[in-house]
Chain A
Amino acid sequence: MHADRRASIDYEAFRAEVRDFALTQCPPELRLAVTRLKKVGRHEMCTWQKILYAKGWGAPNWPIEYGGTGWDLRQRHIFDETLAECDCPTQPYQALRHIAPVLIEFGTVEQKARFLPGIIRGEVHWCQGYSEPGAGSDLASLKTQAERVGDEYIVNGQKIWTTGAHEADMMYALVRTARGTRKQDGITMLLIPMDSVGLTVRPIRTIDGLHNVNEVFFDDVRVPVANRIGEEGKAWAYGKFLLSHERLGGANVAPLLRLLARTRRMVAEEFRDEPGHPQKAALERRLLHAEAEIYGVRALGRRAIEDIVHKRPLGTISSAIKLLSSNLMQTLDEIGLDATGRRVAARFRITGDDRANAGEPGVEWLTNFLHGRARTIYGGSSEVQKNVLARTLFGS
């Protein structure tokens, strides 16, 4: 029955339809920002989300009753791949792909009705409050405390590295409501309005010169109990459910292939007047090696999707994909740096009287290199992924 339905879908026609929509409906300035490796924030993500929502394509990964498209997994994959190929900004992923699946799985009827519409319409922007100064890779040692008083929780503590907190309306946060024998117990998930009294956001300037991440302080912040997801003290399971969603993102290699093509063109351009430069040939060879490896990840990603379609356990595949795709992005970032570095490394920021002008052309490759270092740190660092893999490989 399932197979019959799939056999009747014309995937190539579907791909063409998505492509046509992306190229005609995604505003050119948004796509140009992606092409030029510019920062993508709330404005870019939410503007695009509103357009997708109007088309009925706001939340392909949701069940139909909440606004999903009813597409099968392959169509969803084609959708993501095609949008990335067209340099569309990502959708507001923290909302759509992280908290929404948790809401749908563990939220109450009332919570779904309250929060899902704002997410799918691109009107309410979300951030993720997990990490703390003392709880990074070891997330379960988080300390931000929530004390129940009547039908409210009083939250005190601090989050850090919160992407987009300065632009967000809501945060989904992990907080401690009890201290048990296992530190994974006693963790609760709360949905916290960012305009709550006692909540302060402080920017963190990162090495790439951008402002994306923040510190968030809670000083007697009152959060209604109605904003708690699932049971008190049981959120470790919900958080892990969410992370498993986050990791398979690497199965979409379209961004890798786009960056590969862009890097290749840049190398050709950068050395246009020195075609015999030995560095040019060396970079072109490195691009070939990266391309071959990307095709491997693409094949692994397709296998992962087949596994999900056929309800086979994914096992170690998502960790392998996360490791590979983050490393490959960094390999390409490095090639970009090696091509432009001689020109731009010493001219990172424009100062003096010219400050209002655009920086050195090509400096975005330097920014991109610095920005991209985070890929092997967040979403479970490379070292943590290897710990996970080794535990499975050695059986302990």
Chain B
Amino acid sequence: MSFAAAPMVPGDLFDSASRLAAACDARFARLIEPEARAALLTEVWQEITALGWPAVAVAEEAGGAGGTLRDVAALVEGGARSALALPLASAFGVVPLLLAGAGGAGGEVLAGIAAGTHRVAAAIAPVHGTAAGSPMAARWSDAAPRLSGAMIGIDCPPDPTHFLVTCRIEGEAALLLVPRGDDRVTLRHHERIDGRPTIDLHFGEDRRLDGTLLARGEAVGEATARALRAGAFLACVEAVAAMGALLEQTIAYLSNRVQFDAPLASFQALRHKVAELYVAQENARALVTELLDRVAAPGAWPDRDLDLAKLYLGPASRRFAATTIQLHGGMGMTEELPASRLAKRLLMVEFEYGDTASHEARLLAADPLAEASA
């Protein structure tokens, strides 16, 4: 094989995540029953916890390793090369950023995450939406939050212990911590199209959730916005990693598959499609690599550029997935093929942390005549 995607965040974290994800994928592909897949993911999560990944981006004073978003990106990138069906970005990137806005109360939860005793899912807008026609609504009642409706499709580690719920209550940002087993909240479980576990939280009608308020106010609002951008950006990192691995596999497949007495790789129509995939992938890789540096640098994040990156990567990922499925012919339709799982991972990108329409709306509302950035 003559094309190998270069890692964006090379190093030990990337290597170990790539290895773990590849091993997991080899087993995952053979499991047909959802229960068997869930059991495997639980086992792999234990392995991940033993490796100390949950502590990577937790501050040192909370017992973590004090790493940065770049370290999380390294893990996420390695995992995505084999479409690892676990929420590394959300659990290790988004959750710590959310909790950073919750002061001391957040610190305790972070310590639990770093110690491996807490497995926290983040219900973060706009991942939630409507479920069966009931959008989530919230109001205060004597300083206690009252919630109605549901938050759905939340990225969730296996066997979660807590749910972080972000919401706006009468104009104020609030962060709630709901322990698993709280019977005021009903759960529903799913797998995403790429096999990752997700959860719906149903609050019913005007459910009073005493004792769940972790923090409220401006700092929570800012942390939520930042966590959301980080989630969207890490989805971009995953997209580029998945594209690179998928391109490698597509090239290998076309080089080996013989039809009309010749390898498919000899047909120009297919070669050109591969060249187009390569160019799209290189462009996305350059864009995300540069943003990784800018996010790691001191100072404010380049918010508009991050939004634009997600806007670009969503549809680009879908096109990439569709083309690679086509290039594999019937094999592209099979669950068994590793490339198919990467393609399904890519199909998900567009819907994570704000879909294309919501990004367009946000960017246009901000300043439709905005000039090019630095």
Chain A residues near B (Cβ < 8 Å): 257, 260-261, 264-265, 268, 281, 284-285, 288-289, 291-297, 299-300, 302-303, 316-317, 320, 323-324, 383, 385-387, 389-390, 392-396
Chain A residues near B286 (CB-CB < 8 A): 296-297, 299-300, 302-303
**Residue from B274, B282, B360, B371 in contact with A261 in the complex, judged by beta carbons closer than 8 Å:** B371
Beta-carbon contact of A257 and B372 below 8 Å: yes
Residue of B nearest to A328 (CB): B283
State in angstroms the CA–CA spacing of A389 and B272 once bound together: 8
| Cβ-neighbour of A317 out of B282, B289, B312 (below 8 A) | B282
Known A296-B283, A395-B2; 4 more pairs at CB < 8 Å: A265-B369, A316-B278, A316-B282, A394-B254
| With A295-B287, A392-B2 as contacts: A284 and B368 at CB distance below 8 Å | yes
Interface string of B273-314 (1 = CB under 8 A from A): 011101100111011011000000000000001001101100
Q: Which of B254, B275, B364, B368 is packed against the most chain A CB atoms within 10 Å?
A: B275
Residue pair B271, A289 in contact (C-beta under 8 Å):
no
| B155-181 interface (Cβ within 8 A of A) | none
Complex Cα distance A288/B358, Å? 13
Would A288 and B360 count as touching, CB distance under 8 A? yes
Are B309 and A292 interface neighbours, CB within 8 A? yes
CB-CB under 8 A from B140, the residues of chain A are none
Are A386 and B271 in contact (CB-based, < 8 A)? yes
User: Shortest CB–CB separation between residue A298 and chain B, in angstroms?
Assistant: 8
* Residues of chain A contacted by B308 (CB below 8 angstroms): 288, 291-292, 295
Which residues of chain B have a CB within 8 Å of any CB of chain A? 1-3, 251, 254-255, 265, 268, 271-272, 274-276, 278-279, 282-284, 286-287, 289-290, 305, 308-309, 311-312, 315, 360, 363-364, 368-369, 371-373
Pick from A294, A324, A394: contact of B255, CB under 8 Å: A394
Are A299's CB and B271's CB within 8 A?
no
Looking at chain A's contact residues, the main secondary structure is: helix
Known contacts A288-B363, A292-B311, A394-B274, A297 near B368 by CB under 8 Å = no
- Whether the pair B368, A324 counts as a contact (CB closer than 8 A) is no
Which residues of B are found within 8 Å of A320, using beta-carbon distances? Answer: 278-279, 282-283
Contact between B372 and A261, CB atoms less than 8 A apart: yes
Chain B residues within 8 Å of A281, by CB: 364
Q: Is the CB of B275 within 8 A of A393?
A: yes
Query: In angstroms, how far is the closest chain A Cβ from the Cβ of B273?
Result: 9
Which of A284, A320, A386, A393 has most chain B Cβ within 10 Å?
Answer: A393
Shortest beta-carbon distance, A320 to chain B, in Å?
A: 5
CA–CA, A386 to B271, complex, Å?
8
CA distance A317 to B305 in the complex (A): 23
- The answer for the CA separation of A394 and B3 in the assembled complex, in Å, is 7
Complex Cα gap A383–B276 (Å): 10
Which residues of the other chain, A, contact B360 by a CB distance below 8 angstroms? 285, 288
- Complex: how many Å from CA A270 to CA B274? 39
Min distance, Cβ B135 to any Cβ of chain A, angstroms: 24
Q: Is the CB of B274 within 8 A of A291?
A: no
With a cutoff of 8 Å between Cβ atoms, the chain B residues found around residue A323 in the complex are 275, 279
In the bound assembly, the distance between CA atoms of A295 and B372 in angstroms comes to 9
List chain A residues, Cβ under 8 A from B255.
Answer: 394
Residues from chain B with a CB closer than 8 A to the CB of A260 are 372
In the complex, A385 Cα to B218 Cα: how many Å?
52
Task: Give the complex CA separation of A289 and B287 in angstroms.
Answer: 13
A393 near B287 with CB under 8 A, answer: no
Name the CB-closest residue of A to B252.
A394
What are 16 A-B contacts with C-beta separation under 8 Å? Answer: A281-B364, A289-B311, A291-B308, A295-B290, A296-B283, A296-B284, A299-B287, A299-B290, A302-B286, A324-B279, A386-B272, A386-B275, A390-B271, A392-B2, A393-B274, A395-B2
Residue with the highest number of chain B CB atoms closer than 10 Å, among A264, A316, A320:
A320
CB distance from B74 to the nearest CB of A (A): 19
4 interchain residue pairs of minimum CB distance: A395-B2, A292-B312, A390-B271, A296-B283
Return the chain A residue nearest B265 by Cβ: A394
In the assembled complex, which residues on chain B have CB atoms less than 8 Å from the CB atom of A288?
308, 311, 360, 363-364
Q: Closest residue of chain B to A293, judged by CB?
A: B312
Q: How far is the CB of A394 from chain B (nearest CB, A)?
A: 5
Chain B residues in 8 Å Cβ range of A392: 2-3
Q: Is the Cβ of B2 less than 8 Å from the Cβ of A394?
A: yes
| A395 and B287 alpha carbons, distance in the complex (Å) | 26
